[in-house]
Amino acid sequence: MRSYLRTKIRDDAAEAALFQRRAIACFVGVVVLIGILLSNLYVVQVMDHSEYQTRSNDNRIRLVPVAPNRGLIYDRHGTLLAENQPVYSLEVVAERTDDLEQSLLDLAQMFDISEQAQQEFLKRVKAQRRFKPTTLLSKLTEAQVAQFSVNHHRFPGFQITAGLKRHYPYHKTLTHALGYVARINSNDVLDLEMEGKSAMYAATKDIGKLGIERFYEAQLHGQPGMQEVEVNSRGRRVRVLNSTPPQAGQDLRLTLDLSLQQKAEELLQGRRGALVAMDPRDGGILAMVSNPSYDPNLFVHGISSKDYSRLLNDRSRPLINRATQGQYAPASTVKPMLAVVGLEKGKITEKSRIWDPGWWQIPGVERKYRNWKRWGHGWVDVYDAIVKSNDTYFYDLAYNMGIDTISEYMLQFGFGQYSGVDLKEESAGIMPSRDWKQVRYKEPWYIGDTISVGIGQGYWTTTPLQLTEALLVMINRGRHFSPHLVQAIGDDGQLAAVEPSERPPLVLKNDKAWDIVHEAMIQTAKKRFADASYTAAVKTGTAQVFGLAEDAKYEQDKVAEHLRDNALIVGYAPAEAPTIAITVVLENAGWGGANAGPIARALLDHYLDPKPETEVANAN
């Protein structure tokens, strides 16, 4: 019985068959898996070889953009005004750092970086893409470069880079004309992305912010290059496999005369105001000074909060370009232009006269509009009116012409609109009219408003650049050049001249009007320029900053400094064939002839009749 049970329980044949089936199944499974593996190896090694090779190269090879050298800026005589200097900077690529904040703390101790500067740096890093470098410190000294190099192993992701930075060798002398470059910020990044120019600035850290640097950014920036670089497992460069060199930006030659610019700056020292000098033959700006000014180099490497706050809160407003943004009542400097219109419209003639008792009245109105000379000039013709700057004559002329005529013609002189100068920082000023007042103040235009406009006061405001532009229209007998700063553009020493642009001319039927006003301005200049080696033509102006009561007397010593009159003068020389036209505006300086006049004389002497060095030395 026991033997039978053992036989029943153990079936050797069945077990052998089961083992055989399992062995075959396992073998088949192994064969299938090996087949799958071989198949995958074939796909990877043969079919997808190119793709995986490219991925491998992407890890081993990187495309690195190379920043182009920024174009240089010269004055009309070839003097370098904006250059590029070699500098060392400390940068970080955020994605390669182990602990950015700890590394920053260690570097702050090494290089004495303020807590505020650290916070600003972290904000820039967050605003930047993590694979792009962000500058921590710029303009490192050789000692700082050596100190970091010794400790480089402690700061993964940080590196010293050499490059070129903008430098302005004449500092504040040319700030408001040249402008400056500064770091690209988040707003700039957004603008570049919207304009589709992000790739152009992949390796560039700076961009033009103001002045010529901003207006001609596209020409000055250049085209970036590219390097194909092999890197090791730590991301460090091993070798350069291929490279496309960048294309440097184009150079600019300006119409500015550095010597004249420096002289103008010297003459305005200690005063708030602006000076513009232009070439009447083409509208080129010879000098453009706004005082006070500031050093643009402060912004190139990142201005400190302390320095920026000082400039921003300065009551003298050095950040404003007074030459193109300052808005001033033109006062008597526009009387020659008004006389031209009066002669053209037949409201006055060369010989017509009016009686000036020292005041003028609107018919049927009691209020008296006072002449600056309270007892008057007696009988006055157009020559006397300009030479003596007679207010009564121009009150009467404005009344007879009306605001519509005045506004129509003054717009053609360039008042109340942008000049077209190659700067973005410009104000249009105000050339008042009926419609303008209705829109601005919701009020009708009154005759009294016209009377004030007749002497360049009231609502009328202009910039020194606009005033010089209008003067050029008069010099050129209606031909209207747009002011400009760039004379030629090019590279490799091959600069192509930029043709000056012109606006529609101011055409007069009475062409003699130009001659009459021209002669009157020559007579105005005779006293101050009697001993000059050239003939000049000028017109002065004194602009009220606040209105006086009808019978009130202006006493400068009793008026707060910021409420005192502005002093102005416009002029050109040589009168027979002008090569220079100038406008000087001095804020709160008082009488135009006494204060702005000497500056105009000194500047014209410097340009047209420079003294030999020995004579200057003896004079001192």
Going by C-beta distance under 8 Å and a sequence separation of 6 or more, which residues neighbour residue 384?
Answer: 377, 390, 393
332 is catalytic: yes
pTM: 0.81
Output the pLDDT for position 228.
Answer: 77
- For the chain, the domains span 67-254, 321-614
Q: What is the residue whose two structure tokens read 């040319």?
A: 174
Question: Would you state the structure tokens that stand for residue 122, as one six-digit string?
Answer: 């972290």
In DSSP terms, which residues pair with 215 in a beta bridge? Answer: none
Between 127 and 362, residue with greater pLDDT: 362
The reply to whether 67-254 and 321-614 are identical in fold is no
Output the pLDDT for position 74.
Answer: 96
Percent of the chain at pLDDT > 90 equals 56
89, 138, 293, 332: the active-site residue: 332
Output the pLDDT for position 1.
Answer: 47
Output the pLDDT for position 235.
Answer: 56
Residues 16-28: tens digit of each pLDDT: 877 888 888 888 8
Output the pLDDT for position 12.
Answer: 75
Mean pLDDT of 487-496: 86
What is the dotted CATH code of the domain comprising 67-254?
Answer: 3.90.1310.10
Question: Would you state the structure tokens that stand for residue 138, as one six-digit string?
Answer: 């710029």
* Structure confidence at residue 420 as a pLDDT band (50, 70, 90): very high
Mean pLDDT of 598-604: 95
Output the pLDDT for position 18.
Answer: 79
Residues 512-567: tens digit of each pLDDT: 999 999 999 999 999 899 999 999 999 999 988 655 545 555 455 555 556 778 99
CA 180, 181, 183, 184 dihedral sign is: positive
On the question of pLDDT at 2 being above 70, the answer is no
- Lowest average pLDDT, out of 187-191, 229-233, 483-487, goes to 229-233
d(Cα 156, Cα 295) in Å, to the nearest integer? 36
CA 187, 189, 192, 196 dihedral sign is: negative
Question: How would DSSP label each residue in 453-505?
Answer: HTTT-TT-BB-HHHHHHHHHHHHTTT-EEPPBSEEEEEETTEEEEPPPPEEPP
Residues 139-150: tens digit of each pLDDT: 788 888 888 888
Range picked from 112-116, 261-265, 589-593 for highest mean pLDDT: 261-265
- Superfamily name and number for 321-614: DD-peptidase/beta-lactamase superfamily (3.40.710.10)
Q: What is the residue whose two structure tokens read 């036209």?
A: 581
Residues 97-135: tens digit of each pLDDT: 878 888 888 888 888 888 887 788 888 777 777 767 777
On the question of pLDDT at 76 being above 50, the answer is yes
Percent of the chain at pLDDT > 70 equals 90
In DSSP terms, which residues pair with 242 in a beta bridge? Answer: 228
Output the pLDDT for position 616.
Answer: 36
* Structure confidence at residue 35 as a pLDDT band (50, 70, 90): confident
Q: How far is CA 329 from CA 449, 452, 517, 543, 551, in A?
A: 14, 11, 21, 6, 22
